[in-house]
Amino acid sequence: MGCSRWVCLVFVLHLIYPGLVASNGFSDIPKKLLDFAKKSEVFDWMVGVRRKIHENPELGYEEFETSKLIRVELDKMGVKYKHPVAVTGVVGFIGTGEPPFVAIRADMDALPMQELVEWEHKSKNPGKMHGCGHDVHVAMLLGAAKILQEHREELKGTVVLVFQPAEEGGGGAKKILEEGALENVKAIFGLHVEPHLPIGKVASRSGPVLAGSGFFEATISGKGGHAAIPQHSIDPILAASNVIVSLQHLVSREADPLDSQVVTVAKFQGGGAFNVIPDSVTIGGTFRAFSKESFMQLKQRIKEVIHGQAAVQRCSAAVDFLDKDKPFFPATVNDKDLHDYFQIVARDLLGTDNVKDMNPLMGSEDFSFYQEVLPGYFFFLGMQNETLAKLESAHSPYFEVNEDILPYGAALHASLALRYLLEYQPKVSLLEHNHRDEL
């Protein structure tokens, strides 16, 4: 867009959105939304929502109470929504109900682990914990909904709020897509809290940011017997041990050192006595890569190694990749144009020095399913207060959230969505203005 066209666009938008578009264009929008999110009544409300969810963690596709809480809050705001989507999911709509459509997403599910943090709002569900920050993700998206609903008359398009179930291995994003909930959406944004990044900072990158991942489980069967006479048995523990060592060679000896890959065995179950060789052993783990080719090669070699090494020790093996219940996650790949757009919005909100580039991580995210079908952008939001104790990593039973992060996440969500509509709207053809039935 030439300079004169840009000035003309800003002038027109200033007439349409006098409360949001300042004389210098869109740059004041994020800070105004952050100020709104920091209001005591908004902040305290988000804290209360987050703590209610934290006290009642629910696993993937079981987020019934979390879903109910979300719907109650959306009802209070007067926000329309669809439910159920993907079993427990909620998809809300703010704006005109017409194109363009832009989505912002939060995951709702907890982890199957016992919380070890002693505080007033500790998990009340034994063996379940919000140890990855999904409770705060939901609270921030509800905060964004409150901000956007406050400015709904200025939205010349529609923001789609995606409250997604089952991110932790269940592939809830895939089910959201399969049910057509994001039809006609032009872009989607998602975030994750980062305990090791200072509060008020964000980090991301263009291109691959997180790896594709899958799971495997293998049962290695032999012949049980007395530990004192191993010659009468076929030892599956020995076979499983050889399998584990050999699996590590897939990365160290077969993968290109410049092509990051991971194979980890994290589960080993077999035997129940000190002097009894069991009949079978079960092992399981995860494998990860950034390219589909490398991922599928790892999958094939994992199967071959398990069968081959079991046979060397006279055992048999059955391998299950669990992809019916835990679908393979693609790599999370950020759209280049959305990266450039994110940098502009984040810098206006947080300042240039607080917007960081990052290296790819071997963690995975089912946000990647969205990115396979539409432009998507995923980023990390810091929450470490450097004057306080260091926060533990996600998936730790000691994981804690710095609730001061809530306004930042809410304002970023709202700014990315609202400003996307403001900048995209003039480019939308009138031919695209078809109403959606659910709105």
pLDDT of residue 426: 54
Q: What is the pLDDT of residue 46?
A: 98
| pLDDT of 165 | 98
Q: Residue 437 above 60 pLDDT?
A: no
Counting residues of the chain whose pLDDT is more than 70, the rounded percentage is: 91
Quick one: which of 77, 213, 59, 237 has its CA closest to 142?
A: 77
Looking at residue 149, its pLDDT comes to 98
395 is in an annotated binding site: yes
Q: How confident is the model at residue 134 (pLDDT cuts 50, 70, 90)?
A: very high
What is the model's pLDDT at position 6? 39
Q: pLDDT value at position 19? A: 47
Residues 317-340 pLDDT 10s: 999 999 998 999 999 999 999 999
pLDDT at position 78 over 80:
yes
Q: According to the model, what pLDDT value does residue 423 have?
A: 82
pLDDT band at 397 (very low <50, low <70, confident <90, very high): very high
- pLDDT tens-digit readout, 246-275: 999 999 999 999 999 999 999 999 999 999
Mean pLDDT across 394-409:
98
State the Cα–Cα distance between residues 181 and 82, nearest whole angstrom. Answer: 9
**Known binder of ligand: residue 168?**
yes
Which comes out higher in pLDDT, residue 11 or 125?
125
Tell me what the mean pLDDT of segment 119-125 comes to. Answer: 98
Reported confidence tier of residue 3, pLDDT bands at 50, 70, 90: very low
Q: What is the pLDDT of residue 17?
A: 46
> In this predicted structure, what is the pLDDT of residue 25?
63
Tell me, what's the pLDDT at 395?
Answer: 96
Q: Choose the weakest-confidence range: 9-13, 172-176, 217-221.
A: 9-13
Answer yes or no: is 118 a known binding residue: no
pLDDT computed for residue 366 by the predictor: 97
Instruction: Tell me: pLDDT of 427 over 70.
Output: no
Average pLDDT over residues 346-366: 97
SS (H, E, C) the chain: CCHHHHHHHHHHHHHHCCCCCECCECCCHHHHHHHHHCCHHHHHHHHHHHHHHHHCCCCCCCCHHHHHHHHHHHHHHCCEEEEEECCCEEEEEEECCCCCEEEEEEECCCECCCCCCCCCCCCCCCCCECCCCHHHHHHHHHHHHHHHHHCHHHCCCEEEEEEECCCCCCCHHHHHHHCCCCCCEEEEEEEEEEEEEECCCEEECCEEEECEEEEEEEEEECECEECCCHHHCECHHHHHHHHHHHHHHHHHHHCCCCCCEEEEEEEEECCCCCCEECCEEEEEEEEEECCHHHHHHHHHHHHHHHHHHHHHCCCEEEEECCCCCCCCECCEEECHHHHHHHHHHHHHHHCHHHEEECCCECCCCCCHHHHCCCCEEEEEEEEECCCCCCCCCCCCCCCCCCHHHHHHHHHHHHHHHHHHHHHHHHHCCHHHCCCCCCC
pLDDT of residue 156: 85
233 has a pLDDT exceeding 70:
yes
pLDDT tens readout for residues 361-385: 999 999 999 999 999 999 999 999 9
Name the nearest CA neighbour of 319 among 337, 297, 304: 304
What does the pLDDT average to over 18-29? 61
Please indicate if the annotation marks 137 as binding a ligand. no
Interval 4-19: pLDDT, tens:
443 344 444 444 444 4
Predicted local distance difference test score (pLDDT) of residue 425: 59
Q: How far is the C-alpha of 239 from the C-alpha of 249, rounded, in Å?
A: 16
Average pLDDT, the chain: 92
pLDDT, residue 20, reads: 52
